[in-house]
Amino acid sequence: MAAEASAAAQPLAGRSAATDRSAASGRSATTGRSAATDRSAATAVSVALLGELIALGVRDIVLCPGSRSQAAALAAAEYERAGLVRLWVRIDERVAAFLALGIGVESGVPALVITTSGTAVANLHPAVLEARHSGVPMILLTADRPTELRGIGSNQTTRQVGVFGDSVHFVRDVEAPSDTGFAAEYPGELAREAFSAAAGHSGVPGPVQLNLAFREPLSAAVDASTLVTPDATAAPARGQHPRHPDELGYADGTIVIAGHGAGPAAEQLARDLGAPLIAEISSGARFGPNLVVAYRSLLSQPGFGGAVRRAIVFGHPTLSREIPALLVRADVETIIVRGPGFEDYNPGHRAARIVDAVVYQGAPAERAWAGRWVQASRASMDAAAEASTGPTDNSSETSTETSTETSTATSAGAFARAQLATYREPATRRMLVETVWAATWPHDRLVFGASRLIREADRLLPGKRISVHANRGLAGIDGTVATATGIAVASQATEAGASGVTRVVLGDLTLLHDVGALLLPPGEVRPSIQVIVGNDWGGTIFDGLEVAATAPGDAFDRVLYTPHTVDLAAIAKAYGWQYLRAATRGALDEALSATGPVLIEVPLDRD
């Protein structure tokens, strides 16, 4: 780990030989002051606190530039130089926080986010909310003015403690240190409290805030001999909140529902119970023999949804109206297995039980009930596929008198024509998600934005045991590219993910909302990432809502569809990304073999 981080650290440090000579001669590269007389309690405490957090398992620090936070930022740079941490620098705090979110999603270990004071802190809020509702660990180090400068109209000063409300698991307003260190807390104690709360050692993981007040001098040269050097071979500590399973027996009419973040336990339980498995695309359970893809239509049918008597729910379902409608029925016993977020999913407050975990007690159940669902789902999917592609052309079949050579040539020609037709197939939403799904393997990562495309994927795609993520805690479009980048860099840092690609499938508005995340600073490890944009020139997800039938067309387009004319090729060029346009299936297949970072535009019709 240390060697790996050190390799990534060297280009990012970026100091010239002249700068190194200046530092070696006792001059501070940032202030020009004498290192011999330059002392800063802010620097001493920052070095100690970051060292303690790194010792606990933190491996990534994301920071944004700022004056009040300079001591923590410079300490982070020195820890990166020592090969003890990976450092990521972003100019937009919202992007930085979602990058940290993605790292936490992939690694299960909190990343640190360092910001200056004022509006910088407020810009973290969207990612904090997503982390809270998704159960993703994150530690915020927000720099602040000391007590004497608060409440008097000081520049860049506001009430930072409490700005996130109850969205953080833990918040501590840390008094400005004196020359001897912390006035009230010691770095080790503070680090342990923050890390434990973020990692979920006594509950669910989530965001925490350490609000660090600093007085001038705001930084000094970092003495490398003061860096904490933890055991680099120690594995980062993850959340270990104990879960006590409830025992389940067989019951007629049972289904298992896996929402976002459910994990493979849902699939295993469905198999044990012989129950149909409804697994959303980002559930982590969309595989196995009991998977029912066409669940929307079946839940509305009396012989299927009408026969359900017990539903066991994992994770956070968000992609259909049929699931909450089922769970509020009086004739359905609902058992909720607590998900990754801090709120229990409980539509209508009708859950019979909310439990930490479940375990099946009994002999393996028959699959007749699940088999009916699976067969009906496959028939429905086959019919939908045939309707979308048209009937099969059998005109090339030959008679029994046709020679073998002629028959073979005819078959080969028909196959070649079919292949060419497939290659030239114009881009559609279905084609986009199917092609990306087919190209993605277990060593890859797949991220969906909150747009029409994730719903298309959930409606159409078969089971496949691959890593899929989406920010479904609050299902916002913000931060999607930054989150995917965090997932990419964290997966690349492990041997298992070293050769994988992170693909993010999103709509054009979702991209534009997070376009700043395309800015990748020089010197950092370039993520292996493909941003695949289904561009229908606006928010077509609203076209499927009831409002589309009642609102005036011009008003609907202006305030909901929100059309744009942005040149995505120009955006890619501006940010230094490779750009590819894929208007056909063949072009998209080829584009998906490109090495990232690459932005792939897939033009789509509005309807």
* Cα separation, 76 vs 386, whole angstroms: 57
| Pairing relationship of beta strands 254-258 and 310-314 according to DSSP bridges | parallel
What dihedral do alpha carbons 487, 492, 493, 499 form, nearest 10°? 150
* Cα separation, 3 vs 395, whole angstroms: 63
How many angstroms separate the Cα of 461 from the Cα of each of 237, 292, 293, 392, 457? 35, 11, 7, 21, 5
Residue range 500-513: mean pLDDT, rounded: 97
Region of poorest pLDDT, from 49-53, 133-137, 176-180, 576-580: 176-180
Helical residues (DSSP H) of 108-211, grouped into ranges: 119-122, 125-134, 187-199
pLDDT at 315 over 90: yes
At residue 400, the pLDDT reads 43
How do residues 196-243 score in pLDDT, each as one tens digit? 999 999 889 999 999 999 998 888 899 888 888 777 556 666 655 556
How many angstroms separate the Cα of 34 from the Cα of each of 16, 137, 179, 335? 19, 40, 17, 66
pLDDT at 16 over 60: no
How do residues 96-133 score in pLDDT, each as one tens digit? 999 999 999 999 999 999 999 999 999 999 999 999 99
pLDDT at 2 over 80: no
Spatial CB neighbours of 481, under 8 Å, sequence gap ≥ 6: 504, 506, 511, 514, 515, 517, 518, 531
| Residue 319's pLDDT band (cuts 50, 70, 90) | very high
Region of poorest pLDDT, from 8-17, 93-102, 578-587: 8-17
Residue range 432-456: mean pLDDT, rounded: 96
At residue 52, the pLDDT reads 94
* Cα separation, 456 vs 473, whole angstroms: 19
How do residues 323-353 score in pLDDT, each as one tens digit? 999 999 999 999 999 987 878 999 999 999 9
| Residue 13's pLDDT band (cuts 50, 70, 90) | very low
pLDDT at 389 over 90: no
At residue 415, the pLDDT reads 65
* Cα separation, 65 vs 143, whole angstroms: 11
End-to-end Cα spacing for the chain = 49
Cβ atoms within 10 A of the Cβ of 422, count? 14
3-state DSSP call for residue 59?
coil
C-alpha torsion sign, points 137, 106, 322, 547: positive
With contact defined as beta carbons under 8 Å apart, do 31 and 38 qualify? yes
At residue 24, the pLDDT reads 33
Residue range 267-289: mean pLDDT, rounded: 97
Region of poorest pLDDT, from 8-17, 86-95, 545-554: 8-17
pLDDT at 294 over 60: yes
At residue 555, the pLDDT reads 93
* Cα separation, 442 vs 364, whole angstroms: 28
At residue 181, the pLDDT reads 52
Record the tokens describing residue 219, joined without a space.
């930084």
* Cα separation, 7 vs 74, whole angstroms: 19
* Cα separation, 565 vs 550, whole angstroms: 26
* Cα separation, 273 vs 466, whole angstroms: 23
How many angstroms separate the Cα of 493 from the Cα of each of 3, 35, 496, 526? 11, 35, 9, 12
* Cα separation, 425 vs 262, whole angstroms: 35
What mean pLDDT value characterizes the chain? 87
Give the DSSP H or E segment for 554. Answer: helix 553-556
Residue range 35-52: mean pLDDT, rounded: 81
How many angstroms separate the Cα of 281 from the Cα of each of 287, 319, 400? 10, 9, 47
Q: What is the DSSP string of 494-538?
A: STTTTT--EEEEEEHHHHHHTGGGG---TTSPPP-EEEEEEE-SS
Region of poorest pLDDT, from 23-27, 162-166, 181-185: 23-27
| H helix count then E strand count, the chain | 21, 19
* DSSP single-letter state for residue 359: E
At residue 363, the pLDDT reads 81
At residue 596, the pLDDT reads 80
Residue range 493-505: mean pLDDT, rounded: 80
At residue 11, the pLDDT reads 30
Q: When comparing pLDDT for 287 and 237, which is higher? A: 287
Give the DSSP H or E segment for 208. Answer: strand 207-213
At residue 484, the pLDDT reads 98
* Cα separation, 519 vs 85, whole angstroms: 21
What percentage of residues in the chain have a pLDDT greater than 70?
85
Closest listed residue to residue 278, CA positions, set 309, 255, 250:
255
What domains appear along the chain, each with residue ranges and CATH number?
Answer: 2-226 (3.40.50.970), 245-371 (3.40.50.1220), 429-603 (3.40.50.970)
| Residue 9's pLDDT band (cuts 50, 70, 90) | very low
At residue 224, the pLDDT reads 86
At residue 402, the pLDDT reads 47
Matching residue, tokens 């020609």: 413
Record the tokens describing residue 367, joined without a space.
């699959």
